[in-house]
Amino acid sequence: MEAHHQRVIDRLTALFQPDPNYLALIIGGSIARGWAKPDSDVDIVLVVTDEEYRRRAAADAYHYFNRDICDYEGGYVDGKIVNLDFLREAADHGSEPARAAFVGAFTAFSRCAEVDDLLKRIPVYPEHERDEKIRAFYSQVLILNWYVPEAEKRRDPYLLTHAASELALYGGRLILAHNRILYPYHKWFMHVLREAPDKPADFMERMDALLVRPGADTARAFTECVGGFRDWGVTMGQAVVRFMRDSEWNWRYGGRTPLADW
C-alpha cells in the first residue's frame, strides 16, 4: 500500500470512528487486493447501525464520495454504506460480484466482532451453485456461437457486437467457475481471468481475437477452444432449453440473480 493511501485511511478512521452511528470502516477494492497503482482511489464500505441505515434508505443515500480528503493527484474515496444485515446476506446468498467486492477486504476500525467473521465468509466461492453455473454458462456459449454468424449473415452490427461480447463473458465465467474463482464484474474480469491457473493454453488469445474481430471464424475458434478443454456435460439439445429458460423465460423464475451476475 502506498503511504498516501494509508494517510487517507487514517483520516477516514479519524472522521468516522468517533461517531457511534458507524460500526466499522472496511477497506476494499484494488488496495485490498494488492492491485493498487499510485493514483488509485480508496474503496471503502461503511457499516452503520440499523437506525442510520433506515435513515439513509429513506433518502437513497447509500453512497459516499470524498475527493478533499485525498492529498495525491487523482485521488478520491468511493464508498458504499451498508448495515450488518447486508453483510450477513452477502455471506449467505450474495452474488459473485457482491462476494468478490470483499476479496482481501480488511477493517480500518470495527466496534463489532461479527464484521471480521463476515469478511472471512463473504469472499468464498459458492460451491453448492458451481455445477449448475457450469451447465448454464456452457449452454450460453453454445447458443451464442450460433448467434454470431447469424448476426454476420444479417449484417447486424448490434447483434454481432452483443453476441460476441456475451460469448466472451460466458466462456470466461465458465473458466472462472471451473477454477472456483469469483467473478469480479466487468472492470477486473479480464485481469482475474488471465490469472486463472487451469484453462486452455490459447484461451486468452482466442478471447482477444473474438473481441477485436467478432465474426463466425473467431466465435467458432473460441467455442472450440472452450469445448475441447473438457466435457462440460451439456448436449446441444440441453443447451437450447437452458438458454431459453435463462434468457427468454427468466422472468418466470423470480428471486434469482440475473445469470450475467449470478
**What does the pLDDT look like over 51-108, one tens digit per residue?**
999 999 999 999 999 999 999 999 999 999 999 999 999 999 999 999 999 999 999 9
Q: Which pLDDT score, from 0 to 100, does residue 229 have?
A: 98
Provide the CATH topology of domain 3-121: Beta Polymerase; domain 2 (3.30.460)
Tell me the whole-structure pTM to 2 decimals. Answer: 0.94
Domain ranges of the chain: 3-121, 129-252
% of residues, the chain, pLDDT over 90: 95
What residue type is assigned to position 116 of the chain?
D
pLDDT at 255 over 80: no
DSSP sequence for 28-77: EHHHHHT---TT--EEEEEEE-HHHHHHHHHTT--EEEESTT--STT--E
Q: CATH assignment of 129-252?
A: 1.20.120
- Residue 110, strand partner residues: 24
Sheet bearing 106-110, strands edge to edge: 63-66, 77-82, 42-48, 22-28, 106-110
Model confidence at 119, pLDDT cuts 50, 70, 90, reads very high
Task: Output the average pLDDT for the chain.
Answer: 96
List the beta bridge partners of residue 106: 27
pLDDT greater than 80 at residue 118 = yes
The string of pLDDT tens digits covering residues 149-176 is 999 999 999 999 999 999 999 999 999 9
